[in-house]
Amino acid sequence: MTTALKQALKTHFGFDNFRSKVQEDVVKVVVKGDRDVFVCMPTGAGKSLCYQLPAVMAEGITLVISPLIALIQDQVDHLKSLNIAACSINSKLPAGERSLILADLGSSSPKLKLLYITPEMVASPTFQPCLTGLCSRGLLSYLAVDEAHCVSQWGHDFRPDYLKLGELRGRLPGVPCLALTATAPKNVQEDVVQSLRLRSPLSFVTPVFRSNLHYDVIFRELLPNPYLHLYAFIQKSLALDSGSNRQGCGIVYCRTRDGCETVAHQLTKLGVLAKPYHAGLRPGDRTEHQNEWMQGKVLVIVATISFGMGVDKASVRFVAHWNLAKSLASYYQESGRAGRDGLPSSCRIYYSPKDKEQMNFLIRKEVGRRQEKRGSAKEADKAAITDFDAMVSFCAQEACRHATISKFFGDKTPSCAGSCDFCRNPKAVRAQLERAAVLCTK
Ligand code: ADP
Ligand code: MG
Ligand code: ZN
């Protein structure tokens, strides 16, 4: 079987090998088709292939649920460029194209291999009959739910529409279901399995610990010149002064558009070309900045969190957070965009207690607003607050940063061996906290 799989991998995707043993194992189980599967692997690990390869090898059609039209578009374009019959039905699709697709799906032997839809579409009246028809004719090979953490109220990206998927799954008995995500603490994993009504799924969960990432936290307000400090960090991370020709790049995350503009401007002034990326830019400029960064013409992109979903670049040598992430799970995902090639990379937070207070205020205000609308406190609201508190503790505690992350995700304590500031120099971490405490009481 392995040779047949490898053959198909080469023929359809042009890859000589599986990216990892896990990827191969998942594909094997999926192709067998008798089990539901839960996959939790880091971004960039090649989760899509886990359903795409089985999909092209199967007789029928694979239904893929993905949360964003932009993500879907990227995947569909990519598959089309490989000559794989893929398409998407979504609210933006012209009526003519939609009826062509529905006609193919209604035919006795549809040409389509992968059909991507958003969770909102699942419940749509135009799509329902089509789906039921496919299922009753035995033409559905697999149901793949990408970014499956969105189903959980405990997750950092909860999408109410994902809750409809459990019911969908219930109506497709006999169709093997795959749930895929990059970040899922234990409680979220359990939620996903339960909400999607997976039947004793086989789980493939990569440990969260990544030894090539070095984590540290710098208190921004203790610095005489924060921008210069960031600049020095970038220089070191990209080895700009060592004359090496290793082409690396990096990401600085900021919470606000103004923040992005300021940091990008300051860095460029200091001598490293940095460009902003945020929703306030004209779409053309935003795409251009992203492309320039992808191509290595711009070394540093200074972005709001809208940047990164679906961005896959191997040589990201650092991810710096100028502001806190909204949860520890988000932070793990955002910082995890560093070092996908396995080479040593740095993840740094420029922590500011003032900034923390502001975010704390905003998060609690948002939660209060939602509760007022609904009249009751929901699990998701509590999660927003506890997840942010976990992010703050990560910065303000004297403990191994990797251990904190692993513990948060329910993994056992990893052997950090100096891959974080605390393990490298606990005294320095304590000294910084003490200086910050003095500053606060002033
Ligand atoms: P994930 O969804 O886990 O974040 P993707 O499915 O988007 O990851 O894949 C990340 C990248 O890895 C893509 O560019 C994909 O083409 C590539 N990839 C996947 N499988 C392989 C493989 N077996 N060999 C080489 N590259 C692969
Ligand atoms: Mg993916
Ligand atoms: Zn450590």
- What does each of the 442 residues of the chain score in pLDDT, given as a tens digit? 678 999 999 999 999 999 888 999 999 999 999 999 999 988 778 999 999 999 999 999 999 999 988 889 999 999 999 999 999 998 888 889 888 999 999 998 899 999 999 998 887 887 888 888 898 899 999 999 999 999 887 666 778 888 888 888 888 888 999 999 987 778 888 999 999 999 999 999 988 899 999 999 999 999 999 999 999 999 999 987 666 656 799 999 999 999 999 999 999 999 999 999 999 999 999 999 999 999 999 999 999 988 776 677 889 999 999 999 998 988 998 999 999 888 999 999 999 999 999 999 998 888 888 878 777 667 777 778 888 999 999 999 999 999 999 998 888 899 999 999 999 999 999 999 999 998 876 6
Radius of gyration of the chain (CA): 23
Q: How far does residue 43's CA lie from ligand 1's centre (Å)?
A: 9
Residue 307 alpha carbon to ligand 3 centre in Å? 28
Confidence (pLDDT) at 291? 93
Q: Which atom of ligand 1 is nearest to the CA of 75?
A: 7
Given this model, what pLDDT does residue 86 score? 97
pLDDT score for 115? 96
Q: Is 40 in the pocket of ligand 1 (CB under 6 A)?
A: no
Query: Which one of 12, 15, 38 would you pick to mutate in the ligand 1 pocket, going by the greatest count of ligand atoms within 8 A of its CB?
Result: 15
Report the separation in Å between the CA atom of 383 and the middle of ligand 2, taken as the mean of its atom positions: 24
340 CA to centre of ligand 3 in angstroms = 20
DSSP 9: I
Ligand nearest to the CA of 420: 3
Tell me, in angstroms, the distance from the centre of ligand 2 to residue 130's CA: 26
Ligand 1 atom 24, closest CA: 19
Cβ of residue 15 lying under 6 Å from some atom of ligand 1: yes
Query: What local confidence, expressed as pLDDT, does residue 91 receive?
Result: 81
pLDDT score for 238: 93
Tell me if 330 sits within 8 A of 337, measured CB to CB. Answer: no
Ligand 1: distance of its center to the CA of 362 in Å?
36
| Confidence (pLDDT) at 1 | 62
Does residue 39 line the site of ligand 1, with CB under 6 A? no
Closest ligand relative to 394 C-alpha: 3
Q: Which residue is closest in CA terms to ligand 1's atom 12?
A: 46
Question: Can you read off the two tokens belonging to residue 248?
Answer: 């690396």
| 276-285: Cβ within 8 A, 24+ apart | 276/301, 276/302, 276/303, 277/301, 277/302, 277/303, 277/304, 277/306, 277/307, 278/303, 278/304, 278/306, 278/307, 279/304, 279/306
CA of 332 to the centre of ligand 1 (A): 19
CA separation for the pair 154, 191 (Å, rounded):
8
Nearest C-alpha to atom 17 of ligand 1 is from which residue? 46
Ligand closest to Cα of 403 equals 3
Residue whose CA lies nearest to ligand 1 atom number 22: 19
Q: Please tell me if the CB atom of residue 48 comes closer than 6 angstroms to any atom of ligand 1.
A: yes
The Cα 131–Cα 198 span in angstroms is: 19
Looking at all shown ligands, the one closest to residue 425's CA atom is 3
| Ligand 2 centroid, distance to 179 Cα (angstroms) | 11
| Residue 306, CB-side half-sphere exposure with 13 Å CA sphere | 15
What's the CA-to-centroid distance between 30 and ligand 2, angstroms?
17
Report the residue among 16, 41, 49, 333 best suited for mutation to probe ligand 1: largest number of ligand atoms under 8 A from its CB: 49
Is 229 strand, coil or helix?
helix
Name the residue at shortest CA distance from atom 18 of ligand 1: 46
Residue nearest ligand 1's atom 21 by CA: 19
Regarding the beta carbon of 46 and ligand 1, being less than 6 Å apart is answered yes
**Length of the chain counted residue by residue:** 442
Ligand with minimal distance to 422 CA:
3
CA of 262 to the centre of ligand 2 (A): 31
Q: What pTM was estimated for this model as a whole?
A: 0.77
The angle subtended at Cα 302 by Cα 408 and Cα 222, nearest 5°, is 70
